[in-house]
Structure 1
Amino acid sequence: MSNIYQHFRADEKEFIDQVLNWQEYVEDSYAPKLTDFLDPRQIHIIKSIIGTHSQVKYLEFGGYEGAERKRVLLFPDYLVPEIKDFQISILEIDYPSKFITLSHRHVLGSLMSIGLKREKFGDILIQQDRIQFIIPTEMLHYIQMELKQIGKTTIQLKEVAYHELITADEEWKEQSVTVSSLRLDAILSTVFPLSRQKAQTMIQHKLVKVNWKEVEQVSFVCEEGDVISVRGFGRCKIITMDGQTKKEKWRLIVGLLK
């Protein structure tokens, strides 16, 4: 069992244990297990643990192709799941868009202000003045009852079908960089227009996330596949690590999303 943990970071142990419990539940009960909305790092952990040869299989779905946050369905290998098994609904926000501008941050804050943890809803989608967000069907009635305004703006919610979903494809711009070390502050100061000191300050002020979790250690060591977001500057991911140079610097291929 300990061999599993060595492949992941120490702070991921709790989630790994949860995945193992889900796997055991499906194996023992011969029944499917549907998760909340998970981030890509958590989904990667599930894939790594379940593997391709287990009696337990998995599928992921977040409402549309390319969704960032998705529900994962773990199920016995003899079942054939359908889209409806993911129990996903889509809500669109009706608000006075001619007079008010709402952002992703406003919607996120309002959803969490009614008691929802981040894993209880999926992606928030904005296309010009249209805003939609994806939720578990079991939370539909609660959210419709509780979410009446965003900030000081009164809103109405309407459920929409999958074919009405607005989507925006993410475009990652790849580039090759050389960094002095794999420390978080070193990578930030190379990839983004930040000094090393500014990068350290932003990390210490909880403005930086790695794999959707706040990181406050400037010496945090990054790994291949990590997604790093910096408030106000955008997001990057470490696509590949191409080894070290003769001067012991690291060559990385990173993707930039702004």
Structure 2
Amino acid sequence: MSIYQHFRPEEKEFIDQAINWIDQVKDSYAPKLTDFLDPRQQEILTSLLGNDSEAKLQFNGGSDFVERKRVLIYPDYYSPEPSDFNISLYDISYPKKFVTLEHRQILGTLMSLGVKREKFGDIIVTEECIQFVAAEEMEAYLTGNLEKIGKASVSIKRLPIGNIIQVQEKWEEQITTVSSLRLDSVLSAVLNMSRQKTQALITSGKVKVNFKQTENVSDECREGDTLSIRGFGRCKIMSIDGKTKKNKWRITLGRQK
């Protein structure tokens, strides 16, 4: 039985990489630190390792409440330390009185500097301040190059990782029924709009399934999937609870508050 059948076809490349990391740790008997992984990648890595007695996993992204985390895969003799994760926390100073900065602007600026997405973790935006987490090896580059976000002049300051803002996500659960588990059908129930409109959102690149953009309206949704819809927030399929007498699927959704 192929390991790939438990996952989506587009996840194959990451699965191969993850298997390679695990094998590397077992063969070299030394720890391996990954870049920042999104929650779906963390889930895949955890399920691939299973109950393996030769290798273990530990996650760290600066806080229990962050999404993106670096993962240390290590042999059974090893005791991980927080310093093994090589993560830094930065505070962004900007003229708050005159400018409002949004998550997508900060993300876009970091990417435009040529920083790969996997080299930084969560970006935390509150009314009081903005912080982001990055790989320690990026410090010199970030402090030397991050001077503007949009038209605003900014500066960054490194803070102890313990100073990270603890923002807990809240999910509001609701139970609904859908005619099929196709992405357009599930989104139609989530957003309370016609399938025609949800298909337009998907084909115009505004929808992500498990943090990856998809333009396929007939993608089948699975339990645990996170759906992000630009302009409408995010929801999670908490559980697929079987079929009703009218042959519809009953699902429990979490909407991000």
So what's the TM-score if we normalise by structure 2? Answer: 0.98
**1:71 corresponds to:** 70
Q: State the Cα distance separating 1:104 from its structure 2 match.
A: 0.3
Distance in 1 separating the partners of 2:193 and 2:101: 28
**2:184 corresponds to:** 185
Q: Which runs of 5+ in 2 are unaligned?
A: none
Q: State the Cα distance separating 1:256 from its structure 2 match.
A: 0.2
Could you give the per-residue CA deviations for residues 81-131 of structure 1, whole angstroms, max 9, x where no partner exists?
011111110011000000000010110000000011211110000110300
**2:253 corresponds to:** 254
Identical positions, percent: 54
In the TM superposition, 1:134-149 aligns within 5 A as 134-149=133-148
Could you say what secondary structure the match of 1:185 adopts?
helix
In the TM superposition, 1:234-245 aligns within 5 A as 234-245=233-244
Kindly provide the amino acid, as one letter, of the partner of residue 139 in structure 1. Answer: M
**1:106 corresponds to:** 105
In the TM superposition, 1:112-127 aligns within 5 A as 112-127=111-126
Q: Which runs of 5+ in 1 are unaligned?
A: none
1:224 aligns with 2:223: yes
Could you say what secondary structure the match of 1:115 adopts?
coil
**2:2 corresponds to:** 3
Is 1:126–1:166's contact at 8 Å kept on the other side of the alignment? no
How many residues were matched structurally?
257
Is 1:38–1:71's contact at 8 Å kept on the other side of the alignment? yes
Runs of 4+ in 1 over 4 A off after TM superposition: none
**1:128 corresponds to:** 127
Kindly provide the amino acid, as one letter, of the partner of residue 176 in structure 2. Answer: V
Distance in 2 separating the partners of 1:51 and 1:118: 27
Distance in 2 separating the partners of 1:153 and 1:50: 45
Is 1:241–1:250's contact at 8 Å kept on the other side of the alignment? yes
Is 1:38–1:119's contact at 8 Å kept on the other side of the alignment? yes
Kindly provide the amino acid, as one letter, of the partner of residue 226 in structure 2. Answer: V
